[in-house]
Amino acid sequence: MSLIKTMNAQEKEVYMYVAEDATYATGNQAIFKASDFIGATSAGATSTIFRFYSQDNSRLGIGGDPTVARFELTHTTDAQIEIMKAVATAMANPHGGFIVIQDDLGTAFSSDGSTLGTAITQLNVAPIASTGTAVSISAVAINT
């Protein structure tokens, strides 16, 4: 008799944090689960959209079309492939955990009046393969 273990595609979940800015307004920050990933598309030469199943079960569209959650990264021109590969690599981490995809700190200030800094990402994005151009992410837009 053999024992078969049933498991999800991800035993340890990867969570991806994105923030449009540091205003803490509703909808400006979100955490996406890698296991909810549906797909990614190029939205043009300077942006890539990542779609996920909605975190709100009431929006899953039973009897109709589901509403998906998404974030869109604005990046260096023609870097869609490098951005997709970097996010895919982050989602494939077998150890799970949290990763900052993009945190646009904007012009927020700390309690002592100093600025909090510049945008942050923990993605390891390779240069564009055909040109060697360094890739950077300049903004993120969230729709949950």
Per-residue model confidence as pLDDT tens digits over 90-108: 999 989 999 999 887 755 5
Asked if 51 and 40 count as a contact pair (C-beta separation under 8 A), the reply is yes
Distance CA 55, CA 68 (A): 9
In this predicted model, what pLDDT tens digit does every residue of 43-62 receive, in sequence order?
899 999 999 988 765 555 56
Domain spans in the chain, listed from the N-terminal domain onward:
14-57+65-143
Let me know how long the chain is.
144
Query: pTM of the prediction?
Result: 0.79
Mean pLDDT of 138-142: 88
Can you tell me the distance from the alpha carbon of 30 to that of 5, in angstroms, rounded to the nearest whole number?
33
- Give the burial class of 6: count Cβ atoms within 10 A of its Cβ; 0-12 exposed, 13-18 middle, 19 or more buried: exposed
